[in-house]
Structure 1
């Protein structure tokens, strides 16, 4: 019984998080009077994503970033929000990987170069004057990796099943200003 428990624990720790999406080097500044957010992402298990794309399906990486003002008695108030949508697919005729980010398409000869090109994010989240001194703010980053080629009839039948490849993940950083 103990061995079965250890096996299940190892499965959920290592296999269950195999497509983990990590955010690191998260920083915020007010250069040029704007709220600027810089961060980097790490896609663990790039080879699994690569195989998925090589089979002809598309991968969608959705990132939503919010800056909210924390309040004690009431709901937090949203200061700014930005969404980034990334689509990764393979052009089977040209044998190239295609990255579509914010409406701009780029072609890559190999998958590793494509993934390296989306590791660093620099986002402008609006004017800095919205940030008042003496308050606590939260930077919230929500991410998920999905494959949307699943038929709707199958999603309705298996409504209890999560069709995400990874996530959703929720990151939060508190800032006192």
Structure 2
């Protein structure tokens, strides 16, 4: 039977090894999170009686995204828009929400392609040019303008992420500390009074 000192020494070694692995994982993940999704030209307006959000997305760290595509991965730009009534002392009350998803992949001929909901797909050999053409103006419909009340303060929240489509959700959730996506998810908020 091992002595108490031997058990404690082995336990300390295991804790040290586990800590070293977690720190190494965090440092390795930090380099993958150098990429960002930048928001440009955010506009919220009344378009034919609908609440319309219009904005552009500019990914940085294009080389990391290009490498993932060259390795055969499929990526998706996921934009979640949420409109809520702003409240001071309790949670904001949601008015409406919507989701936009655009898939990005590499074609057999070497071009990169982006599929846009309701518009089909477009392709280009230059990834930066493709992003400018495809994601320069994204439109999200948040329902009827009649839902808004005059004099009320609202909060528009946009969550942007560039997700790997070929990684199963249970792996992502099980290894939550490991970065799977090529760009850090970001959130933007706009407060306004109607």
Q: Into which bin does the TM-score normalised by the smaller protein fall?
A: 0.7 to 0.9
Contact persistence 2:99–2:140 (CA under 8 A): no
Q: TM-score, normalised by structure 1?
A: 0.80
Instruction: Name whichever of 113-122 and 130-139 sits farther off.
Output: 113-122
Provide the rounded CA distance (Å) in 1 between the counterparts of 2:170 and 2:81: 31
Output aligned runs, 1:1-177, within 5 Å: 15=31, 17-92=33-108, 94-102=109-117, 104-110=119-125, 111-117=127-133, 118-150=135-167, 155=172, 158-177=175-194
SS in 2 for 1:47: helix
How many equivalent residue pairs? 165
Contact persistence 1:65–1:81 (CA under 8 A): yes
Provide the rounded CA distance (Å) in 2 between the counterparts of 1:22 and 1:141: 11
**1:63-109 deviation line (CA, Å, top 9, x unaligned):** 101111112233211112110111101122x3332212226542413
Unaligned runs of 5+ in 2: 1-26
Contact persistence 1:142–1:169 (CA under 8 A): yes
Provide the rounded CA distance (Å) in 2 between the counterparts of 1:95 and 1:134: 53
Provide the rounded CA distance (Å) in 1 between the counterparts of 2:162 and 2:93: 27
Provide the rounded CA distance (Å) in 1 between the counterparts of 2:76 and 2:193: 34
Provide the rounded CA distance (Å) in 2 between the counterparts of 1:71 and 1:139: 13
Provide the rounded CA distance (Å) in 2 between the counterparts of 1:112 and 1:154: 30
Provide the rounded CA distance (Å) in 1 between the counterparts of 2:173 and 2:96: 34
**1:12-57 deviation line (CA, Å, top 9, x unaligned):** xx95652111112212111322212111211112222122212211
When the two chains are superposed, the root-mean-square deviation of aligned CA atoms in Å is 2.6
Provide the rounded CA distance (Å) in 2 between the counterparts of 1:59 and 1:138: 29
